[in-house]
Structures are given as structure tokens and as C-alpha cells.
Structure 1
Amino acid sequence: MNLSSRKTMTVAALSAALLTAAACGGDSGGAGDGGDGGKVKITFAYWGSDARQKLTEQAIQKFEEKSPTIDVEGDFSNWDSYYEKLATKVAANDAPDVLSIEIRGLSEYAGRGALMDLGGKLPTADLDQQVLSSGQIEGKQYAVPTGVNAFSMLANPAALEKAKKELPDDTSWTWDQWVTLAQEISATGAATGAEYNFNPAWLQIYAAQRGEKFYDGTKIGMSADTIKSWWAIHQKLIETKGSPDAAKSEEIGDTGPEQSLLGTNAGAMGMWWSNQLNALTKSSGQDMTLLRMPKAEGATTSGMFLQPAMFYAASAKTERAAEAGKFIDFLVNDPDAAGILLSDRGLPTNAKVLAAVKDKLPPADQKTLEFIDEVKSELSPIEAPPKGALEMEDILERASEEVVFGRATPDEAAAKFLQEANAAIAG
């Protein structure tokens, strides 16, 4: 669930596509009811990297070996085009039988009648029930989590050591202390102290530390003061050279973890989803450490939350509901699937499956598992945000760039953000 994302399709366009689909009848494409040799064919849409595609193809092959009457056709897309492609297929009455979806899109698709209620379609008793509930909309189980992660601070101990700095006490550090540490590291020339981003997960954590919700029903629950205070952290990082300037940060933010400051071994700290630790470790060649997020002064909660990396769902129009459910069951409940996918889509939420593959996890994923276990009692449950949340990152990024580039005052940008964000999720 990576999280620094760019959506190429507006919620208005998505809604129009889904409304068009709702007016259409028939199945989800009509392909492969008989299939080769009488097999049933189902399609599975997902996004990701080339590495994820290879892992997924291996998992599909294993499923077909264990379920010889079913063929699964993978429908792979890169992240930037995934939702546009999915909405187009839904509108054309050609929806995939099984699809991947993130939590920000769940209310949108479920609310438009595009997703099947998975209740009773596969066993879920062994899944983490709190995490499972995040896939429910109005009491119906429209999606099943692939795995879990947490938005966290990552640090490169070698970079801190080179700068003659110690790892912070992440049980008590504050945002001001993080900015100061970043400034001090940058000043040594050992590495850039930190890289910031405009991921809504960070703002959600910060708002919770100030006793506010990102979403409050179908409106934004944050005050303008909280948003401006959050932007002040970004501005202070830039002013003190604890991070690159706004232009360089924007350039870095348009890349993935492998091209980030941490990923290129040029930075000391950065915020990423915990399941991205392995990719950052591989690309940098460094042994990274996961840390709790800093806190606002006087905060009584960490604000951090356990979130599904993504979900598996099924089309409401599929005529192959049993086969779709069987495939999702395999992906989340079968140790053979987990042994292939490991933590690619987050750590498994099925405790029995996780225990079966734990020893197969690479060292970085073992570290992620230990970190999640350590902080799990401090993490808040997560609920699917309202319709329109797919637009939120783009809206927040536009407003944030106006501030850090000096094109708008924080007051002006906060007012504009709240207006656009509230309009997007008004229902």
C-alpha cells in the first residue's frame, strides 16, 4: 500500500463509470465459462512492480495446480494506470472476477454496487478479526485484507553513525526533535537528514496526536490549525536544510522507495509503510531500522494505525462467485500462497499461515514482523474512508506544494484544501 500515489482518474469520472456499470446487466466479461478442457476461467486484476508480477504468477500457478478445474488469468497494471483501467472495465461490463483494491477506494466501489459481498464465500475465522472488519461497509464484507503494515519512520543506522548521532528513543521523541536531528545530520555532510512527503497517512497520524480525525463521516475532521501546523514541520525541515528543498523533494517524491534518499543510500531517515522495508534494504544495501513516528507535544497517543496493505475483492457481476471465493481463500488462507508472496502485500493476517511461513521471511521482513508485534498494542483500528478518498492524496499534495513553494500562505492553502477535500467526500 504504497503508498506515495498519484491518481489519474477523478472520483467524478470514477463515479460516472460505476453508475454506467450499475445500469448494465450480464456477467463480468463472459470469458472462459467453459475454458480449455471444460475449465472455468477467472480474471484477477492487480497492480505493482515487475517483482510483484513474477510472485503473483507463481502463486497463480500454484493455485491452478491445487485447483485443476480453474484457470486464473492475471490482469497486471502499473500503479498509475490501475484505477483508470479498472473503472473503464467496470463501465464496459467487463470487470475482473477478482480484483485488488486499497482502503481508499473501498467505499467508492462498494457504495456503487461494483463489489460482491464476500460473506460466506470463504472462511475468515483464522484472520485477524479487527483487520478483517476494515473490509466491511455497512456491515457487509466487501473485501478481505491481503496483509497488514504500518506507516512508520525508517532510519539508516550507518548514516547516523557516520554523522556521529545516535538513534532516537522512539518511545518519546517529538517532531521538533526529529527536525533538529535531521538538521544536525545534514550539517555533517554524512547524508541528508530526512525526506518528507505528503502522504495522507502522515497527516492522519499527526491529526490523531492532536485529538482530531482525518475523516469525520463525510467531512474532514481536521482543523485548519492542525493542517497548518503539519505544514510548518515541512517548512522547518526545508529552512534548516534537514531535508532537500521543495523542488528536489518533489522530484524524489515522484519516485518509488528504490529511488528515494534512503533507497539510494543518500538519506538517514524517511517515512514509509513497514512492508517497504525489504525493498529499501535491498536497494540501499543498508540494514534499516523501523521506528515509531515522533509525537506532537503533549500527545497521549501515537496516532499510528495498523492498515491492510490492500484488499482482495470480487466483482458483483461475476458469474463465477464460487471460483472467485476459492481463489481469494487460497491467497489469504493457504500457506503455499504465503510461502510465495511472503510480505509483498503485507504480513499475513492469518496467524496460522504467518507461523507456517515465518522462517521463510527474509531478515528485513523478520524485522518488520518484530516491529509490528512490538507496537501493535499502540496502534488504532482503521476504518474505510468515505467515497471520494481516492482523490485525497492529489488534493493534499496540490495544497502542500502551494505552501512549500511559497505560492500560497498556509491560511489560503488550508482553506482551499478543506473546501476541495470536503467536496470530494460529500457523498
Structure 2
Amino acid sequence: MKIIKAATAITLLAISATACGSGGGGEAGESGGKTKVVFSYWGSDARQKLTESAIAAFEKKNPTIDIEGDFSDWDSYYEKLATKSAAGDAPDVMSIEIRGLAEYAGRGTLADLNGKVNTTDLDQDVLKAGQVEGKQFAIPTGVNTFPMIVNKATVEKAGEKVPDDTSWTWDDYIALSQKITEKGDGKVWGTEYNENPAFLQLYAAQRGEQFYKDGKIGLSEQTIKDWWTLLQKIISTKAGPDAAQMLETGTKVDQALLATNASAFGSWWSNQLTALSKGAGQDLDLLRMPKSEGATTAGMFLQPAMYYTISAKTEKADAAQKFVDFLVNDPEAGGILLSDRGMPTNAKVVTAIKDKLTPADQKVLTFIDSIKSELSPITVPPKGAMEMEDILKRATDSVLFGKATADDAAKAFITEANATLTK
């Protein structure tokens, strides 16, 4: 994933001094008697079409407001956002993700939305994940979880049974995946895997450790090394492919082994289940992640898929707030966007759109309900977390490709990560 590089982070430092909003005052920026609100977001062509439909629905209900969508692909989104902000052209409404919340809030870029957007019907625990130092800088668009996804048909074709996900261990998972690979005639792997920090966060939670603690890395070197040992065991037992193949297929949903029927298991965000199922042309299901021996929890957690935020410098705050309120509270918006930005946390919206959800999304909704009593708390990462995925990937690849020992790589990861977090 593209992250904010050092130069871009420096650019962010200038935001509070230079940004002056997205054009004119009060409910300024009016054209033809209408207030124009710029809304920045990233995603696929499909997301763009859904968003444009939601914008049209909002404008129909609010004929004095024009929403101008400022769409980017993921790779260029944050660099573009930082540049616009530093140039005094910050979008009025901005999409950001959890890794960037503390960064943007800390630079004075975001408005405190407490009491500005109706949050009564939103999941209050999830809502807290939009807070930094007690201020509500962000409204979650919806939630995801990071489960194990399984193609039951592939498991059963190999003559095996889908495990009980309330009790299976990492050893059970690897042994089962190895058997499936052996019976796959060289066409099917037991599992694919990835290096997403969510995977390590979950694995660490099983050991009672947090990814972040007191603004720094909360992981022990031993837990990081044991996680790498787990990945190495998947490779060495041929439960899954080697690091080179996963480097090619492990980052994009449409290239996922699950999406091409070349794997029985794999871990992806829950809102990717529909795309994976569509690619496979088969039903896929969600399971809790396996546990470490002796663990009392699978470490599952909910995370905002992304947030809606409003520029602290906007001079069109009322119109921007109405738009955000519409996106998270209006069943019409929910019926258009569905689970594209995560499963809605507004219970009334979920009830209204339930029948419109795809079969895969229905499974996600049921799965999230089934694990709610087991969830680890949502933690907003500290400033600098935008770079964490790249730092972790470099360290992980150095181990999996045999370029560094686990001891050296773990020390290097913690040192580099903490240096980034304390900038």
C-alpha cells in the first residue's frame, strides 16, 4: 500500500498554518445560489459509481447543496490529499482510514464533530474509534473484521471437514492446509496468507499483547518472531505457497488464490468477501482465526473500514455536516452504499437495507453478530502509523526471503517503527 512518505508528512505539518478551506466563506463557495461541498475519497470504479449515486440522492433531498466528488485511486490518495491541504484547498469532507486519524487530527486538519453530526443510532463502541484525546474527529463509515475465509467446497473435495472455529489452533490450521495441498494435484493450496498488520495484531492479542501501547509498539520481539515462524511453517510444510508467489497474489483481491479457486483458506477483510466470492464463482464463508495454544481469545476485533471527516478550515461546515449525517444515518444512502465502506453501524440503517445485501454480506453481518461478545477493543494507532504496513512488510520479507535472521529483523522492526511513531 502507498503510505505518506517523509516529504508528505512534512507537508502535513504546514496544513494548520496554510489551509484556508475549500473556497469561500460562511456557507460560501456558492454558485448559482448553491453551496458547493468537495468530498474526497478513494477506491475502485465500482465505489465511484456507488458514491455518485449516493451524492445524487443527497442533492435531490438538499437542492441548495452541490457535492463535488474528488475521487482518486488508493495509490495516489494521501499524497493528493496532503498536497491539496497544504495549498489551502483542503476538501470540505475527507475520507481517511484509522492509521491516519491521529496524524491528521494532530495537525489541526480535522474539525471536532461532537454534537455536529447525529450519532445517536451508531454503535457507540465503534464511534469511540473516531476519537483522539476525547474529541470526535471522525465518524466511522462502517466496520470490518479480519477473519479466516474458507471455501468449504474445496475442503470437502479434499476429503476433509471444515473445522470448529471456536477451538481450532494454528497447528490444526497448518496440518489441515497441508493435507489439502497434498490432495490438490498441484492446482490447489491449502491456504494463502498475507503480511497485513491486522494479522499480527490479532495474533498478538491472543497472547495478551497490543500492537500499540503508550504511543509505541506494544509487541514483544518474541511474539513478532513467533508470527514469522508461523508464516515460515506454512511455507515449509507446503500448506501454502512460498513468499515469492504470495508477493504476486497476496495484495490484490482479484488476484487472491481464494478468488481464483486456488486455495481453501485465506485471510482478508470481511468487506472483501463479496469480491472474493464473485471471483471464485462459489460460496465462501467466514471463520474465527485459529488460536495459539492456551489462548482464551481468537483476538478478533472490529475496525472502522474508513472514516468521514470534515476540514477544520471549511467555511461550509453546515452543508458538510448534513452530507456526513446523510451518509451514516439515512437508509437511502445505506441502501445505495450497502457494505462498500464496511457494514453500517447504524442499527436502523442495517435493518432497512438487510434484504438488499448480497448473500456474502448477509454472511458478514451474521458473523459479526456472532463474535461481538468476543471482540478485542478498537485502538486508534498513534501518529506515524500510516507507515507501519510498509515497515512491517520490509521486515517480514527480509525474514521470509532469507535476507535477515528473525532476531535481527524483529529488533530492526521495533527500532524503525518506534522512531517513526515518535517523529
Instruction: Identify whether the pair has TM-score above 0.5, normalized to the shorter chain.
Output: yes
Q: TM-score range by the shorter chain?
A: over 0.9
State the Cα distance separating 1:248 from its structure 2 match: 0.6
Q: Which amino acid aligns with 1:156?
A: N
Q: Which amino acid aligns with 2:122?
A: L
User: What residue is the counterpart of 2:57 in the other structure?
Assistant: 62
Q: Which of 368, 372, 379 pairs up with 2:375?
A: 379
CA contact (8 A) 1:8 1:81 kept: no
Q: Does 1:164 align with 2:169?
A: no
3-state DSSP of counterpart to 1:312:
strand
3-state DSSP of counterpart to 2:147:
strand
State the Cα distance separating 1:25 from its structure 2 match: 5.2
Q: Does 1:247 align with 2:252?
A: no
Alpha-carbon distance in 2 for matches of 1:34, 1:258: 40
Q: Which of 20, 25, 45 pairs up with 1:26?
A: 20
CA contact (8 A) 2:34 2:65 kept: yes
Return closer, same or farther for 1:34/1:392 CA change in 2, 3 Å cut-off: closer
Q: Which amino acid aligns with 1:278?
A: T
Q: Does 1:219 align with 2:216?
A: yes
After TM superposition, the structure 1 = structure 2 runs for residues 41-190 of structure 1, keeping only pairs within 5 Å, are 41-189=36-184
User: What residue is the counterpart of 1:329 in the other structure?
Assistant: 325
Alpha-carbon distance in 2 for matches of 1:399, 1:16: 25
3-state DSSP of counterpart to 2:334:
helix
Q: Which amino acid aligns with 1:229?
A: D
State the Cα distance separating 1:8 from its structure 2 match: 4.2
Unaligned 5+ runs, structure 2: none
CA contact (8 A) 1:15 1:112 kept: no
Pairwise CA RMSD of aligned residues? 1.3
Alpha-carbon distance in 1 for matches of 2:267, 2:409: 23
State the Cα distance separating 1:122 from its structure 2 match: 1.2
Q: Does 1:364 align with 2:360?
A: yes
Q: Which amino acid aligns with 2:233?
A: K
User: How many equivalent residue pairs?
Assistant: 420
State the Cα distance separating 1:381 from its structure 2 match: 2.0
Task: Provide Cα deviations, 1:344-379, integer angstroms capped at 9, x if missing partner.
Answer: 111111111111111111111111100001111111
Alpha-carbon distance in 2 for matches of 1:276, 1:59: 21
Q: Does 1:209 align with 2:206?
A: yes
Q: Does 1:400 align with 2:366?
A: no
CA contact (8 A) 1:209 1:296 kept: yes
Q: Which amino acid aligns with 2:15?
A: A
3-state DSSP of counterpart to 1:302:
coil
Alpha-carbon distance in 1 for matches of 2:392, 2:325: 36
Q: Does 1:193 align with 2:187?
A: no
% identical equivalent positions: 65
Unaligned 5+ runs, structure 1: 1-5
Alpha-carbon distance in 2 for matches of 1:364, 1:19: 42
Task: Provide Cα deviations, 1:6-40, integer angstroms capped at 9, x if missing partner.
Answer: 12432x33331122121125333449935442100
Q: Does 1:273 align with 2:265?
A: no
TM-score, normalised with respect to structure 1: 0.96
Q: Which amino acid aligns with 1:75?
A: D
User: What residue is the counterpart of 2:282 in the other structure?
Assistant: 286
State the Cα distance separating 1:424 from its structure 2 match: 1.0
Alpha-carbon distance in 1 for matches of 2:182, 2:109: 53
TM-score, normalised with respect to structure 2: 0.97
Q: Which amino acid aligns with 1:130?
A: D
User: What residue is the counterpart of 1:3 in the other structure?
Assistant: none
Q: Does 1:423 align with 2:423?
A: no
